[in-house]
């Protein structure tokens, strides 16, 4: 079994699917981080909110309604929090930001428990994407392939926007040197607001996409937070390349680690993170040289 | 450098008196809560030494405490070593691990330091969770408390155990003050304020950071060994990063870098937790809102706020005094 090519393809697809889910989450966080040096620990809570919104909307109008509207709803929550709280924390140090967003995790965790209850919710895979596809000689669930394609699609779109459009150039300039970008007439504050909303929407989207795979439980945001932070720290803050590289490294190390060395799988990824931090303290592909 | 002010002495005396009063009057449940506060207080003292006086905001102190608890449990139950020796071994081990983490992370700053310590903490958590010797998710039981029958104390009695923990906390507080006043402690404060200048003065910065982090780890190890003896059962949840996060919350709520503040914070946090969880299951919501309010108010926690008010009052009084003096000086000059 373990020497069968199909088995390895299957594991590679699993790893890729995990990577893409993490990529959707980490890209928003990393650009918020890189653009404004803002540490948002509550990003995982946005992911949980996305999953809950998707579950509720799916119960009303089917899966696709949840898929399209959950990111919008999460972005709405993001806007509320931004104007009420985060805007005022922009100038304080990373320590204060970590603590405020840590408090926010507690608050959002209990708010989801109050609104949706303790029990885990489940939503079904849409009919269009249920079943399995034969791919490279292995049978693979269509829905997981859909996640991989979606992740790659979003990656391509973001690479295009960040690399080829004017707003992308402005964001890159802001990440590189925000004071200089502001001097050149770029409204960095507004840019940050847009990036923050898109980041929240992507977190909501990944929650909505992950909902049919995992059960939707209040602590799902806490559980995904650490992997997401590992991804962006390994990859380096603020860069698309870093987020992709970090997600792929995490996905493959985690999946293949679980297959090859089950006892060491979870230690492996933390050891890797520690090694990266010791050798390259700012991550593999930091946005700033 | 850490200094005792009149206000800090007053707070310490009040805290000690409150703890003693509670220890002698409370029933079983009150004693359990007191012991919980005392053990949490040890952990937050350890965290305040590195975070408040060295700028090393660590998210692995919960894990260090867990390592202390597991080391004590394994050494005393599975290896069959006498509990006092096992406790010393556990403290030495956590100190060593703390030293290594401090040495490795000494080059990182700010959010990277937080992440690096988080990574080490999670590494310990996953290892304990998965290695069969530690009992995995089921945890370990069958732990026994220290045997102090030589001096006529039976620690299996909750009152004696609470008093014992109070005595240990007192010793740890004294040790923390000594650490902060020692050479490495003073150097660490210097490093926090200006690392480059300290380096230019010829200080081996990583060494100072590692030394103090190791000492802080030893304190966390004591807290862990006592936590294991308190509940007599340990599980990997003890090493979870949320424990470290909560310890950090306590330090912040109490007052970072005041040493007395975190003690106040520990008492307030545990009491608040028990009072709130009796009323509502959503006590995290209240703690979260409180944390946000404290951080946004820009006060340095509860005790820091009191200190700032106190300092402002004294300053105002001094200003009044000088204003009264000035006319006389003018007269004498003329």
The domain in which residue B124 lies consists of 6-239
Tens-digit pLDDT profile for residues A210-265:
888 888 888 888 888 888 888 888 888 878 888 999 999 999 998 888 888 877 77
| Residues A62-79, mean pLDDT to the nearest whole number | 90
Residue B194 in domain: yes
Residue B195, in any domain of the structure: yes
Rounded to the nearest angstrom, the minimum Cα separation between A23 and chain B is 19
- Which residue of chain A is at minimal alpha-carbon distance from B247? A99
Segment B173-185 mean pLDDT: 92
In chain A, residues with a C-beta closer than 8 Å to the C-beta of B104 are 274, 278
Report, as an integer, the average pLDDT of B260-287: 88
Chain-chain contact of B292 with A103 (C-beta, under 8 angstroms): yes
B325-329: Cβ within 8 A, 24+ apart? none
Q: Within 10 Å of residue B305's Cβ, how many Cβ atoms?
A: 16
Query: Are B288 and A104 an interchain contact pair (Cβ–Cβ within 8 Å)?
Result: yes
Please check whether residue B165 lies inside any domain of the structure. yes
pLDDT at A9 over 80: yes
pLDDT of residue A289: 44
Q: What is the mean pLDDT of residues A168-179?
A: 85
Closest by alpha carbon to A217, among A121, A111, A115?
A: A121
Alpha carbon B1 to its chain centroid, in Å, reads 18
* Pick among A223, A234, A270, A275 to test the B interface (most B CBs inside 10 A): A270
Cβ B98 vs Cβ B213: under 8 Å? yes
Any A CB within 8 A of B295 CB: yes
Query: In b/e form, how buried is each residue of A90-101, taking b as 16+ CB within 10 angstroms?
Result: eeeebbbbbbbb
Average pLDDT over all residues of chain B: 87
Mean pLDDT of B195-210: 90
Q: A270 to chain B: which residues are within 8 Å by CB? A: 119-120, 122-123, 126
Q: Which residues contact A128 (CB under 8 A, 6 or more apart)?
A: none
Q: Give the pLDDT confidence of B46-89 residue by residue, as tens digits.
A: 999 999 898 888 989 999 999 999 999 999 888 888 888 999 99
B213, part of any domain: yes
A100-109, A244-253, B148-157: which range is least confident on average?
Answer: B148-157
| Rounded Cα gap, residues B50 and B191, in angstroms | 11
Count Cβ atoms below 10 Å from residue A28 Cβ, excluding itself: 29
The answer to whether B115 faces chain A, any CB pair under 8 Å, is yes
Q: Which long-range contacts (CB under 8 A, 24 or more apart) does B131-139 make?
A: B131/A263, B133/B74, B133/B78, B134/B70, B134/B74, B134/B236, B136/B236, B137/B235, B137/B236, B138/B235, B139/B233, B139/B234, B139/B235, B139/B236
A68-77, A207-216, B141-150: range with highest mean pLDDT:
A68-77
In a domain, B305, yes or no: no
**Residue A256 domain flag:** no
Query: Is residue B210 a part of any domain in this protein?
Result: yes
pLDDT of residue A284: 85
Tell whether A282 is covered by a domain.
no
Please give the Cα distance from B121 to B241 (Å, whole number).
7
Contact check, Cβ <8 Å, B296/A282: no
Q: Provide, as residue numbers in chain B, all residues whose Cβ is less than 8 Å from the Cβ of A111.
A: 285
Asked if residue A1 has pLDDT above 60, the reply is no
What average pLDDT does chain A have? Answer: 85
Q: Within a domain: residue A28?
A: yes
Greater pLDDT, B186 or B281: B186
Q: Inspect the interface and report whether the beta carbons of A89 and B296 lie closer than 8 Å.
A: yes
- Find the domain containing A35 and state its range: 5-219
Nearest to A106 among B116, B288, B295 (CB): B288
Task: For residues B156 and B158, give the distance between their C-alpha atoms in angstroms, rounded to a whole number.
Answer: 6
What tokens were used for A88?
């005022």
| Nearest CA distance, A183 vs chain B (angstrom) | 27
Chain B residues within 8 A of A36 when measuring between CB atoms? none
Which residues of chain B are within 8 Å of residue A39 when distances are taken between CB atoms?
111
Asked if the C-beta of A22 comes within 8 angstroms of chain B's C-beta atoms, the answer is no
Query: Are the C-beta atoms of residues A147 and A17 closer than 8 Å to each other?
Result: yes
B52 inside domain: yes
- pLDDT of amino acid A122: 78
> Would you say residue A3 has pLDDT above 70?
no
Within-domain flag for B311: no
Contact B76, B91 (CB under 8 A): no
C-alpha dist (Å) from residue B45 to B132, B230, B263: 32, 19, 7
Closest CA relative to residue B45, chosen from B231, B226, B271:
B226
| Per-residue model confidence (pLDDT) at position B328 | 53
Task: Return the higher-pLDDT residue of A51 and B321.
Answer: A51
Predicted pLDDT of residue B327: 57
Chain B contact present for A128, CB below 8 A = no
Number of domains in chain A: 1
Please check the confidence at residue A167 and state whether its pLDDT lies above 70: yes
Q: Phi and psi at residue B66, in whole multiples of 5°?
A: -60, -40
CB B119 within 8 Å of CB A232: no
* Average pLDDT over every residue of A138-154: 88
pLDDT, residue B334, reads 44
């Amino acid at each position: 079994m373990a020497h069968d090519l199909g088995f390895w393809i299957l594991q590679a697809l699993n790893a890729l699917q995990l990577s893409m889910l993490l990529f959707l989450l980490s890209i928003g966080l990393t650009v918020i981080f890189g653009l404004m040096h803002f540490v948002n620990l509550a990003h995982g809570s946005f992911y949980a909110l996305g999953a809950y919104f998707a579950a509720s909307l799916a119960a009303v109008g089917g899966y696709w309604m949840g898929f399209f509207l959950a990111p919008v709803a999460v972005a709405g929550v993001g806007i509320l929090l931004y104007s009420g709280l985060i805007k005022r924390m922009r100038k304080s140090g990373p320590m204060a930001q970590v603590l405020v967003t840590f408090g926010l995790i507690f608050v959002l965790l209990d708010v989801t428990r109050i609104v949706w209850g303790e029990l885990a919710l489940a939503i079904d895979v849409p009919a269009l994407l249920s079943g399995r596809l034969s791919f490279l000689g292995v049978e693979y669930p269509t829905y997981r392939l859909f996640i991989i394609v979606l992740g790659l699609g979003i990656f391509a779109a973001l690479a295009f926007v960040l690399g080829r459009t004017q707003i992308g150039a402005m964001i890159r300039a802001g990440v590189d040197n925000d004071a200089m970008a502001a001097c050149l007439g770029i409204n960095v504050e507004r840019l940050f607001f847009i990036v923050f909303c898109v980041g929240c929407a992507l977190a909501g989207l990944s929650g909505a996409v992950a909902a049919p795979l995992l059960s939707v439980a209040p602590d799902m945001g806490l559980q995904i937070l650490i992997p997401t932070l590992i991804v962006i720290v390994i990859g380096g803050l603020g860069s698309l390349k870093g987020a992709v590289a970090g997600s792929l490294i995490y996905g493959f190390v985690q999946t293949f680690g679980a297959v090859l060395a089950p006892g060491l799988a979870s230690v492996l990824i933390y050891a890797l993170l520690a090694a990266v931090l010791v050798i390259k303290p700012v991550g593999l592909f930091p946005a700033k040289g | 450098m850490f200094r005792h002010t009149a206000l800090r002495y007053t707070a310490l005396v009040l805290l000690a008196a409150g703890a003693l009063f509670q220890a002698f009057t409370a029933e079983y449940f009150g004693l359990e809560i007191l012991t919980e506060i005392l053990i949490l207080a040890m952990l937050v003292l350890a965290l305040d030494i590195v975070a408040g006086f060295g700028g090393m905001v660590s998210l692995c102190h919960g894990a260090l405490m867990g390592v202390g608890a597991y080391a004590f449990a394994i050494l005393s139950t599975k290896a069959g070593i006498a509990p006092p020796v096992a406790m010393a071994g556990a403290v030495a081990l956590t100190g060593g691990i703390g030293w290594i983490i401090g040495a490795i992370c000494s080059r990182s700053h700010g959010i990277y330091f937080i992440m690096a310590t988080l990574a080490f903490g999670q590494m310990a958590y996953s290892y304990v969770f998965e290695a069969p010797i530690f009992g995995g998710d089921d945890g370990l039981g069958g732990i026994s408390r220290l045997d102090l029958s030589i001096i006529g104390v039976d620690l299996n009695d909750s009152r004696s155990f609470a008093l014992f923990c109070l005595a240990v906390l007192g010793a740890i507080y004294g040790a923390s003050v000594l650490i902060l006043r020692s050479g490495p402690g003073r150097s660490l404060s210097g490093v926090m304020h200006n690392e480059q200048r300290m380096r230019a003065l010829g200080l081996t910065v990583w060494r100072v950071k590692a030394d103090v982090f190791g000492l802080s780890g030893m304190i966390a190890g004591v807290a862990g060994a006592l936590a294991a003896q308190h509940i007599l059962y340990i599980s990997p949840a003890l090493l979870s990063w949320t424990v470290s996060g909560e310890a950090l919350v306590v330090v912040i709520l109490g007052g970072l870098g005041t040493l007395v503040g975190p003690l106040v914070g520990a008492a307030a946090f545990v009491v608040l937790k028990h009072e709130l969880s009796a009323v509502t299951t959503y006590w995290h919501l209240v703690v979260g809102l409180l944390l946000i309010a404290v951080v946004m108010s820009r006060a340095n926690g509860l005790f820091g706020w009191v200190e700032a008010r106190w300092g402002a009052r004294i300053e105002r009084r001094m200003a009044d005094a000088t204003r009264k003096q000035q006319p006389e000086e003018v007269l004498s000059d003329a």
